[in-house]
Amino acid sequence: MSGKINNDDKWKITEDTLGYIISRIQERYEESLSEGDDDFNNGRKLAFYEVLDMMKNDLESRGYSLDDFK
Amino acid sequence: MSGKINNDDKWKITEDTLGYIISRIQERYEESLSEGDDDFNNGRKLAFYEVLDMMKNDLESRGYSLDDFK
């Protein structure tokens, strides 16, 4: 229940996890777009965008598209 | 090179990707903490925090800790 997990366990869970994580961030980002246009919300929108952009790049550098995970 | 990837391909790449993605977001979040204390930056910090918190919950609900992926 504690300590480091081994590699086999570690990656078994990603099979149903990465796609879910991406869709949740995407959802949060889309919700943020309809929120207020003040500095705070604009900073928040930017960070969600940055995260999705990083993930997009990480996936594209491996030959995949973010859309494949939606 | 285009279109949907099949499940086998899809999840092969997560084996070296999820840990990398998490560490990059974590890094970006930590950098943001040392940036200005204005509304824009505070919104940005919150969003990074929200993303990490969502990922933490997604992983914990599957019996893992975010720390296992660092």
pLDDT digits (tens, 9 = 90+) for A18-65: 888 889 999 999 999 999 999 999 999 999 999 999 998 988 887 777
Residue of chain B minimizing CA distance to A9: B64
Q: Is A70 on the interface with B (CB under 8 A)?
A: no
The H or E element that residue B57 is part of is helix B39-60
Q: What is the DSSP string of A15-61?
A: GGTHHHHHHHHHHHHHHHHTS--SHHHHHHHHHHHHHHHHHHHHHHT
A9 or B25: whose pLDDT is higher?
B25
Instruction: Please give the span between the terminal C-alpha atoms of chain B, in angstroms, as a whole number.
Output: 31
Choose, out of B11, B27, B48, the residue to mutate when testing the contact with A (most A CBs < 10 Å): B11
**Cβ contacts (< 8 Å) between B21 and chain A: which residues?**
54-55, 58
**Cβ contacts (< 8 Å) between A47 and chain B: which residues?**
28, 32, 43-48, 51
Please compute the mean of the pLDDT values over residues B18-45 and round it to a whole number.
93
Question: CA of A27, closest CA in chain B: separation in Å?
Answer: 11
Q: Is B26 on the interface with A (CB under 8 A)?
A: no
Confidence of residue A17 (pLDDT cuts 50, 70, 90): confident
pLDDT value for A2: 42
Model confidence at A67: pLDDT above 50: yes
Q: Tokens 């993303």 correspond to what residue?
A: B51
**Cβ contacts (< 8 Å) between B39 and chain A: which residues?**
38-40, 43
